[in-house]
Amino acid sequence: MIKKPIIKKFVIAGLLISLFYVGYLHYKIIQHANMDVPKNADYMIILGARVKGKVPSLALKYRIDHAANYLKENPNTIAIASGGKGPGEDISEAECIKRELIQHGIEESRIILEDKSTDTYENIGFSEKFIPENAEIGLVVTNDFHIFRAKMIADNEELKINGLAAKTPIQAVLKSYAREYLALTKYFMINVFR
């Protein structure tokens, strides 16, 4: 029979390891969300998020607004709006991004639609074929908690891109970060056993 002090030590060790691991993930998320953003990128991939009917969720709105500000300041950058149509969505996430960018005054000719993807892996993979042939500098636009993983997924596709981090809506911070820790753990497990 295992003695209680031994079980207690294992529990404490497990908690300390978990805290260290989550702390490491949080550090990497913050680090990547705060990296310098190059000017005059050739393209940006705006990752989709939930659309309520035809209206962007707050997380998606933050992405679109941040992307629009960059596009206004860098008139040669093209935007690849990425995201398919999911449950409860009347239009694709890509179409929603496009409509919102146009409302911000971004020319339709600068917006390319990738409207088939269903997750971050597909967002990056499907968008890659729309990147201009001679493009060198690229950005991925998403909320700050998501930049680290999005860049790693792009790296797997041999796509070297920088992050353009939009804020995360305050009411979604706790849920978004908790889900991202799990998504990163899944990512690491998948890539270790590839």
Above 80 in pLDDT, residue 192? no
- For residue range 18-76, what is the model confidence (pLDDT) as tens digits? 999 999 999 999 999 999 999 999 999 999 999 999 999 999 999 999 999 999 999 99
pTM score of the predicted model: 0.91
Residue 63 contacts by C-beta under 8 Å, 6 or more apart in sequence? 46, 47, 49, 97, 141, 142, 143, 166
Q: Is 182 helix (H, G, I), strand (E, B) or coil?
A: helix
Q: Domain limits of the chain?
A: 31-192
Token pair of 75 as six digits: 């008139």
Top-level CATH class of 31-192? alpha beta
Instruction: Calculate the CA dihedral of residues 11, 12, 17, 19 and round it to 10 degrees.
Output: 110
- For residue range 154-176, what is the model confidence (pLDDT) as tens digits? 999 899 899 999 999 999 999 99
Residue 133: Cβ within 10 Å count: 4
Q: Given phi > 0 = left and psi -120 to 50 = alpha, else beta, which region is 158?
A: left
